[in-house]
C-alpha cells in the first residue's frame, strides 16, 4: 500500500492505494503545530486502522512555507563577504506595487547584527584577490556564538566560481558551532547573482531545524504506529526526495502542496497522452495555474515566498523571500472561493485579492461574514447547492448570500441581484484567466490549444467559464478533485538534482570538453546523492538540461541536452533547441550571436511504479432540478452525481455535485464521464 499526505494550513488530504489499485480518500482538519497528528489520524482512516502494509508515505507539506510566513524559524546568522552584509535586506531594490507608498518590506530572516562580513575576496574568474582572513571569521563566530544562533548561512561573493573560501568558512563554523545547522551557498546553489544565492541559502539554513524536527517527529509517529515506511518529501521541482535529504535541503521543498497538484495534472496528461495541459487549481483564497507540455510541468528558475500574488516573473518582486531554486512554474493569483467581490466608487467591479478566508468565510456559511464572496455569488446563481456543501458537512444559507450580493454588488451597480452576481463571476473568471495567461502566452503559446485540468474545491465550478475566455474547448475534472493534489504525490518520481553555472560559450573551441566535464561532475554528484539514499545507478535515469541565452542576455531558456557523449553535434542540437524556443517566444533568432550555456542542471530520476486507480462512482437516488442562472436568464437545470453521467455527452446546462467539489457545465458545453472517472467537458460550438 502506498499513501500520500498533503498537509495544508486548513486541511490535511490523504489518499491511499492498495496493490489492486483500490483508492481510499480522506480529508481531515490539519492539527497545527503538531501536524504529524493529523497525518497519522488520516493515514489510519485511509488504511483501515493498520499501517503495517504501508510501503511508503509520499508527502507534501506547508510546514516549511508556514515557518517562513509566520517567522517561526530559529535565530539564524549569515556570514558573507565584508561590505555585503546588507545584500539580503536590499534585495533587488524594487518595491512590489507601483505608487503604493505604504509598502513595508518583510523583515529579513537574519537580523542585521547577525549578518557579518569577513575579510576575503574571490574575483569573477575564481582567482583569489584577498585570502580568507581567519581572524575575521573567528570574530564573526564570537558574535554568533554569543547570540546563540541555531542556524548559519554562508554566502561569499563569486563563490559560484570558486568555493574554496566558503568551504573553509564552513569548516570553521562547524568547529565552533557543532550543533548548528549550516547552509553553504556553493553547496545549496552555485549560481551567479549574490542576492539570489544569499537569500536561498538563508532560507535553507532557517528551515533546516524546522524541517528536521518535523520530519523526525513524523517518522517517530509512524514507527510508533508500527510502520517502517520511508517518508519521501516532495520538492518544488516536482520530484520527491528521502526525508533525510529534505531535512538538509528544505529550501527545495517549499510550496510542495501546489506542486503536488501540478504533478497530478501531469500524470493525468501522460496517462491520456495529452501533449498540452493547463493545470488549474482553485482553492479558498488563491488559484494556481501551470503548464504541462508533453506530460512534463514547466519549470521556473525562482519563486518568491510570502509575496502574495506571484507571477513567476521578475516584474513584481520585492514583496517576499526569494528562492532561486527550480520550481514548477506556477502563477498564483488571489482569486478563490472566499475572494471578496466589491464595487468601487467609480463603478469598477473587482474580485479579490482579499479573501474572507475560512473565518468568517463566505456570507452563506452563516459565520458572520457579510461581504459577497465568489462562493456566495455561486450560491446566488444556483451553481452551488443552496442548502449544503461537502456532502452535507457544511450547511449553506442562501438568503445570506443573496443579501450580501444585493447590498455590496447589485446596489452599487444599479442592477438586479442575479445580473450583479453574474458580473462578479465573469470578473473572477477574467482574473483567473490572467493567471492562466501568465503561464501560456508569456511563453508564446496559445492557451486555446490546451486541455484544462480543473481541480481544488473551486476549480471545477469555474473551469468552463475560464476556458471560454481563453478559447479552450476541453476541460477535464478528475475524480476526487478536492484531494487531487495528494493523488499526484502517489505517482511522483524520486529525483536528485545538481546545478551549476559554468557559462560555456557554445561556439568556443573548448566547449565540447568543458560541457562534457561539467555534465560529468554534475552526474556524479547526483549519483552520490542517490547512493546516500540507498539507490543505485542502474535504476536511475539521467536528465540533463542546459539553460541557454544569447551572449549579453541575462535570462535563460532551458534546452534539453541530448543523451550520450558530448560531441560537436551535441552543441548544435542544444543551440537549435534554444533558438527554436527563442523564436517561438520572442519572434526572432540571432544567428550571429554566440549562445551561452549559462546554467546546467542534471537530475537523476528513479521512476515511481505506475498504479492504475480503480474508482467507484456515486449515483443519485432521484432526478433533481435546480433553478440556476446561465446566459442572462434563470433556467431549470439538472443536478446530478458523477456516476449518473455516462460516456455519451449530456448537454449543458448541467451541474455535477461531488463530495468535495461542484462542476458547472454551462450551456454550449457538454459533459461525459470517462473510464477513469474523470469528467470531460467539451465546448459544443
Partner 1 sequence: MSARRRAVDPVQRELFRHAVAALVDEMAVAMVRTARSTHLKNSMDLSSALCDAEGRLIAQGLTLPLHLGSVPDAMRAFMARFGGEMRPGDVYALNDPYAGGTHLPDIYTAQPVFRGGRVIGHVVTIAHHADVGGKTAGGNGCDATELFQEGICLPPVRLMAEGERVEHVWRLLERNVRVPNQVLGDLRAQLAAGHVGERGLLALAEEHGPRRLADLGAAVLDYAAERARLAIREIPDGVYGFTDYLDDDGIDPEPIPIQVTLHVEGDRITVDFTGSGGQVRGSINCPMPFTKSAAYACVRCAMPTDIPNNEGHFRPIEVTAPEGTIVNPRPPAPVAARGLTGFRIANAVLGALAQAVPERVPAAEAGGDTGVSLAGYDAQGEPFVMLEFLFGSWGGRPFADGPDGVSSVVVNFANNPAEVIEAEHPIAIDRYEFVPDSGGDGQFRGGLAVERHYRMLAEQTTLNLRSDRRTRGPYGLQGGEPGATSSSVLVRDGERTELAGKGTTALRRGDVFEHRTAGGGGWGPPERREAAARARDRRAGKVTG
Site for partner 1 in 465-494 (CB under 8 A): 469
Burial class (CB in 10 A: 0-12, 13-18, 19+), 615: middle
Name the residue nearer to partner 1 (CB basis): 319 or 603. 319
Least separation, in Å, of the C-beta of 666 and partner 1? 16
What does the angle CA 592 – CA 595 – CA 598 come to, to the nearest 5 degrees? Answer: 160
Query: Distance of CA 540 to CAs 230, 307, 535, 586, Å?
Result: 19, 36, 8, 36
Q: What is the closest distance, in whole angstroms, from the C-beta atom of residue 586 to partner 1 in the complex?
A: 4
Interaction pattern, residues 426-465, with partner 1; x per rule: CB under 8 A: xx--xx-xx--xx--xx-x---------------------
Residues 59-88 within binding reach of partner 1 (CB under 8 A)? 83-87
The CB-of-553 to partner 1 minimum distance in angstroms stands at 6
Toward partner 1, which CB reaches closer, 104 or 675? 104
Largest CA distance in the chain: 81
Nearest distance from C-beta of residue 548 to partner 1, angstroms: 12
Please report, as residue ranges, which positions from 121 to 160 form the binding site for partner 1 (by CB under 8 A): 121, 123-124, 129, 157-158, 160
Please pick, from the candidates 134, 505, 516, 590, the single residue that binds partner 1 as defined by CB under 8 A.
Answer: 590
Binding mask 174-193 for partner 1 (x = CB under 8 A): ------------------xx
Helix (H) or strand (E) holding 170: helix 164-176
Considering only 413, 542, 581, 611, the residue that binds partner 1 (CB under 8 A) is 413
C-alpha triplet 100, 98, 340: angle, nearest 5°: 70
15/155 with CB nearer partner 1: 155
Alpha-carbon gap, residue 529 to 519, rounded angstroms = 15
d(CA 430, CA 437): 10
Decide if residue 304 touches partner 1 (CB under 8 A): no
Q: Which stretch binds partner 1 (CB under 8 A): 92-100, 144-152, 249-257, 619-627?
A: 92-100
Of 117 and 643, the one with the shorter C-beta distance to partner 1 is: 117
Q: How far, in whole angstroms, is CA 261 from its chain's centroid?
A: 8
Nearer to partner 1, 131 or 444 (CB): 444
What percent of the chain is helix, strand and coil (3-state, nearest 5)?
35, 25, 35
Helix (H, G, I), strand (E, B) or coil at 184: strand
Instruction: Give the C-alpha separation, 196 to 587, whole Å.
Output: 29
Kindly identify the residues of this chain, within the stretch 547-566, that bind partner 1 according to CB under 8 A: 550, 552-555
| Residues 386, 378 contacting (CB under 8 angstroms) | no
- All 3 cell numbers of residue 584? 517561438
Lookup: cell for 615: 474508482
Nearest-angstrom CA–CA distance, 353 and 330: 17
Q: Do strands 669-673 and 11-17 pair parallel, antiparallel, or not at all (unpaired)?
A: unpaired
Q: With b meaning 16 or more CB within 10 Å and e meaning fewer, what string describes 350-369?
A: bbbbebbbeeebbbbbbeeb
Cell of 225: 504506529
Is there binding between residue 316 and partner 1 (CB under 8 A)?
yes
Interactions with partner 1, residue window 347-376 (CB under 8 A): 347-350
Question: Rule CB under 8 A: which of 203-232 touch partner 1?
Answer: none
Closest-CA residue to 646 (of 670, 663, 621, 612) = 670
Q: Which is nearer to partner 1, 436 or 511 (CB)?
A: 436
- The SS3 assignment for 550 reads strand
Q: How far is the CB of 574 from partner 1 (least distance, A)?
A: 18
State the binding string over 631-650 for partner 1 (x if CB under 8 A, else -).
Answer: --------------------
Q: Determine, following the binding rule CB under 8 A, whether residue 107 of this chain makes contact with partner 1.
A: no
Residue in 563, 586, 619, 631 binding partner 1, rule: CB under 8 A: 586
* DSSP label of 356: -
Q: Using the rule CB under 8 A, is 299 a contact of partner 1?
A: no
Interacting positions 522-541 with partner 1 (CB under 8 A): none
Number of residues that bind partner 1 (CB under 8 A): 77
Among 146, 179, 315, 647, binds partner 1 (CB under 8 A): 315
Stretch that binds partner 1, among 207-215, 338-346, 538-546, 650-658 (CB under 8 A): 338-346
According to CB under 8 A, which residues from 494 to 523 bind partner 1? 503
Other Cβ atoms closer than 10 A to 445: 18
Angle between helices 134-146 and 164-176 (to 10 degrees): 40
**Cβ 344 to partner 1 shortest distance, Å:** 8
Least distance to partner 1, CB of residue 321, Å: 16
The CB-of-149 to partner 1 minimum distance in angstroms stands at: 15
Gap between the Cα atoms of 562 and 559, Å rounded: 9
Of residues 247-276, which lie at the interface with partner 1 (CB under 8 A)? Answer: none
Mapping DSSP to helix (H, G, I), strand (E, B) and coil, where does residue 142 land? helix
Nearer to partner 1, 286 or 487 (CB): 286
Amino acid at each position: 500500500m502506498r499513501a500520500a499526505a498533503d498537509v495544508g494550513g486548513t486541511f490535511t488530504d490523504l489518499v491511499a492505494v492498495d496493490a489492486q489499485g483500490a483508492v481510499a480518500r480522506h480529508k481531515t482538519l490539519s492539527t497545527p503545530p503538531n501536524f504529524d497528528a493529523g497525518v497519522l489520524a488520516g493515514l489510519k482512516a485511509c488504511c483501515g486502522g493498520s499501517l503495517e502494509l504501508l510501503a511508503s508515505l509520499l508527502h507534501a507539506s506547508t510546514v516549511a512555507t508556514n515557518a517562513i510566513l509566520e517567522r517561526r524559524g530559529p535565530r539564524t546568522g549569515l556570514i558573507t563577504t565584508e561590505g555585503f552584509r546588507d545584500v539580503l535586506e536590499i534585495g533587488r531594490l524594487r518595491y512590489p506595487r507601483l505608487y503604493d507608498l505604504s509598502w513595508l518590506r518583510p523583515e529579513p530572516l537574519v537580523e542585521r547584527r547577525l549578518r557579518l562580513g569577513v575579510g576575503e575576496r574571490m574575483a569573477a574568474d575564481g582567482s583569489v584577490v584577498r585570502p580568507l582572513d581567519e581572524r575575521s571569521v573567528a570574530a564573526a563566530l564570537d558574535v554568533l556564538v554569543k547570540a546563540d544562533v541555531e542556524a548559519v548561512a554562508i554566502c561569499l561573493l563569486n563563490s559560484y566560481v570558486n568555493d574554496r573560501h566558503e568551504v573553509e568558512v564552513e569548516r570553521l563554523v562547524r568547529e565552533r558551532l557543532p550543533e548548528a545547522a549550516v547552509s553553504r551557498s556553493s553547496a545549496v546553489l552555485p549560481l551567479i547573482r549574490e542576492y539570489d544565492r544569499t537569500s536561498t541559502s538563508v532560507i535553507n539554513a532557517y528551515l533546516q531545524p524546522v524541517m528536521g524536527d518535523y520530519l523526525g517527529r513524523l517518522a517517530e509517529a509512524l514507527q510508533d504506529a508500527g510502520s517502517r515506511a520511508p517518508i519521501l518529501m516532495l520538492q518544488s521541482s516536482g520530484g520527491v526526495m528521502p526525508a533525510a535529504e529534505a531535512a538538509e535541503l528544505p529550501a527545495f521543498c517549499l510550496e510542495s502542496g501546489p506542486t503536488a497538484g501540478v504533478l497530478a495534472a501531469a500524470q493525468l496528461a501522460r496517462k491520456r497522452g495529452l501533449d498540452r495541459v493547463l493545470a488549474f487549481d482553485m482553492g479558498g483564497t488563491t488559484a494556481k495555474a501551470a503548464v504541462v507540455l508533453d506530460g512534463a510541468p514547466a519549470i521556473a528558475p525562482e519563486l518568491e515566498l510570502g509575496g502574495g500574488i506571484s507571477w513567476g516573473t521578475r516584474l513584481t518582486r520585492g514583496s517576499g523571500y526569494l528562492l532561486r531554486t527550480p520550481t514548477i512554474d506556477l502563477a498564483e493569483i488571489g482569486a478563490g472561493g472566499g475572494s471578496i467581490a466589491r464595487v468601487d466608487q467609480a463603478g469598477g467591479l473587482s474580485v479579490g485579492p482579499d479573501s474572507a478566508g475560512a473565518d468568517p468565510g463566505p456570507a452563506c456559511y452563516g459565520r458572520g461574514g457579510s461581504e459577497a464572496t465568489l462562493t456566495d455569488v455561486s450560491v446566488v446563481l444556483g451553481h452551488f447547492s443552496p442548502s449544503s456543501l461537502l456532502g452535507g458537512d457544511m450547511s449553506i444559507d442562501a438568503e445570506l448570500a443573496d443579501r450580501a450580493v444585493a447590498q455590496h454588488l447589485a446596489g452599487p451597480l444599479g442592477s438586479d441581484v442575479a445580473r450583479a452576481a453574474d458580473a462578479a463571476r465573469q470578473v473572477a473568471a477574467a482574473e483567473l484567466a490572467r493567471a492562466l495567461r501568465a503561464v501560456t502566452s508569456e511563453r508564446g503559446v496559445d492557451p486555446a490549444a490546451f486541455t484544462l485540468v480543473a481541480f481544488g474545491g473551486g476549480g471545477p465550478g469555474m473551469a468552463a467559464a475560464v476556458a471560454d475566455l481563453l478559447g479552450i474547448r476541453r476541460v477535464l475534472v478528475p475524480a476526487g478533485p478536492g484531494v487531487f493534489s495528494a493523488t499526484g504525490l502517489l505517482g511522483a518520481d524520486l529525483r536528485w538534482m545538481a546545478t551549476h553555472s559554468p557559462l560555456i560559450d557554445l561556439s568556443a573551441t573548448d566547449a565540447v570538453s568543458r560541457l562534457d566535464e561539467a555534465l560529468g561532475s554534475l552526474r556524479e554528484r547526483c549519483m552520490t546523492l542517490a547512493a546516500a539514499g540507498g539507490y543505485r545507478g542502474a535504476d536511475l535515469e539521467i536528465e540533463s538540461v542546459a539553460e541557454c541565452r544569447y551572449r549579453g542576455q541575462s535570462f535563460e531558456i532551458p534546452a534539453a541536452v541530448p543523451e550520450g557523449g558530448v560531441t560537436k553535434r551535441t552543441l548544435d542540437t542544444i543551440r537549435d533547441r534554444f533558438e527554436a524556443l527563442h523564436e517561438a517566444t520572442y519572434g526572432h533568432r540571432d544567428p550571429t550571436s554566440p549562445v551561452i550555456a549559462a546554467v546546467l542542471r542534471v537530475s537523476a530520476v528513479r521512476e515511481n511504479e505506475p498504479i492504475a486507480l480503480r474508482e467507484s462512482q456515486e449515483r443519485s437516488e432521484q432526478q433533481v432540478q435546480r433553478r440556476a442562472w446561465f446566459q442572462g436568464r434563470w433556467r431549470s437545470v439538472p443536478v446530478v452525481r458523477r456516476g449518473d453521467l455516462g460516456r455519451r455527452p449530456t448537454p449543458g446546462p448541467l451541474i455535477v455535485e461531488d463530495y468535495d467539489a461542484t462542476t458547472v457545465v454551462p450551456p454550449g458545453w457538454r459533459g461525459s464521464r470517462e473510464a477513469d472517472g474523470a469528467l470531460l467537458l467539451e465546448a459544443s460550438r
